[in-house]
Structure 1
Amino acid sequence: MEPEETATLVRRAAAGDESAWGALVTAYAGLVWAVARAHRLGAADAEDVAQTTWEKFARSMGKGDINQPERAGAWLSTTARRESLRVLATRNRAVPTGDLGWIGASPTDETPEEVALAREQSAVAARVWQALNQLGENCRRVLRVLMADPPPSYADAAAALGVTVGYLGPTRKRCLEKLRRLVSEPVESGHDR
């Protein structure tokens, strides 16, 4: 989203325009969620971080404390990062990594071809997640934030990660190259032939 458009939406939302508020949430909810998940928070903790971040944004907006409305994405990502760190410090516990897939299967009306395709796609997705979890912490955080939907601007992503914008491009490229190598490595079955 363009900075001017963001600033206009923030001003309209501060004045009580619900459609402007909805547009801001649509534009930045993925970024807030990605920042929380980049800190390896579980779904419930990530939801708490997102809710707290949006609540603080609404309060600050209502009090007129958003001095640079065009930078709302950076404000939200920085607040989400701080909230994520606060949750981690407060919980003082290990958080499981990776996303849990569905367990078990239910009968469906899918054709055998659809079932086979779904299994293949699931296997590919599992391989990508496995490779992502083999990357270093820094690469995982960068890629998770940049994979938000909708994708954040580099300025918003940099604010979310606490790095400079110039750091993101080369780091993203390096991390994607590592991920690509890990995904393309042959899978060891552990069976002797």
Structure 2
Amino acid sequence: MEPEQTAALVRQAAAGDASAWEELVQAYAGLVWSVARAYRLGRADAEDVSQTTWERFARSLDKLTDPGHAGAWLSTTARRESLRVLAARNRTVPTGDLAWIGPAREDQSPEELAVAADEEGRRDALAGRLWQALNQLGDNCQRLLRILMGQPPPSYADAAAALGVPIGYLGPTRRRCLEKLRKLADVSEPAEQGHDW
């Protein structure tokens, strides 16, 4: 979103325009979420960081010195709040997601289910290798990649603010981190025996 458009939405939201507020949330919610998750916060902690960030933003709408850079303000606030949560927590948060357990599919034959399960298993194995490789990267690479993977992708200015680094740092560092990730994940799948594909 262009800074002029963002500034106009911030002013409108500060004046009580609910649709402007919704547009700001829609534009930057992914950024705030990805910043919180970049610090390896569990879902509940990331939700708390997001909620606190938006709450502070709502209270600060009429006080922002540069409303056109609201994304940078949000990402910086989310980063600081994430660090606060990390410093305050002294417990281990179990991770994992049971979302992979889906409802039974009665409209597919057993053969179709077996083929789908095999394909899903291969995708899961590749995703597992990627996540393992990501977790082997240093903290700076992990944060950078997790933030840049946000949906929608943040602007470089917002990502730089979230990480507290200059914009010029992002491109070269991203490239180096992705090269390390590819090497660690070894994403080239071995050819299967007996198949010519």
**What band does the TM-score fall into relative to the shorter chain?**
0.7 to 0.9
Give the TM-score normalised by the residue count of structure 2. Answer: 0.86
1:108 alignment partner in structure 2: 105
What is the CA-CA distance between 1:24 and the residue it aligns to? 0.8
User: What letter corresponds to residue 20 of structure 1 in structure 2?
Assistant: A
Output the TM-score relative to the length of structure 1. Answer: 0.87
- Would you say how many aligned residue pairs link Structure 1 and Structure 2? 184
- For residues 126 and 96 of structure 1, the distance between their equivalents in structure 2, rounded to whole angstroms, comes to 17
Please list, as runs of the form range in 1=range in 2, the aligned pairs for 1:21-40 lying within 5 A after superposition.
Answer: 21-40=21-40
Q: What is aligned with 2:172?
A: 170
Deviation at 1:93, TM superposition (A): 3.8
Q: Within 5 Å, give how 1:51-130 maps onto structure 2.
A: 51-61=51-61, 64-95=62-93, 100=97, 102=99, 106-109=103-106, 110=108, 111-112=112-113, 113-130=115-132
What is the Cα deviation at residue 101 of structure 1?
A: 5.2
* Range with bigger deviation, 101-110 or 10-19: 101-110
Which of 1 and 2 has greater Rg? Answer: 2
- Identity, in percent, stands at 65
RMSD: 2.0
Deviations 1:2-54 (A, max 9, x none): 11111111111111111111111111111111111111111100000000000
Native 8 Å contact 1:40 1:96 kept in 2? no
Correspondence 1:145 to 2:143: no
1:183 to partner: Cα distance? 1.8
Once the 2 structures are TM-superposed, how far is the Cα of residue 133 of structure 1 from its aligned partner? 0.8
| Unaligned runs of at least 5 residues, structure 2 | 190-197
Determine if contact 1:73/1:156 at 8 Å carries over to the other structure: yes
Which sits farther off after the overlay, 117-126 or 175-184?
A: 117-126
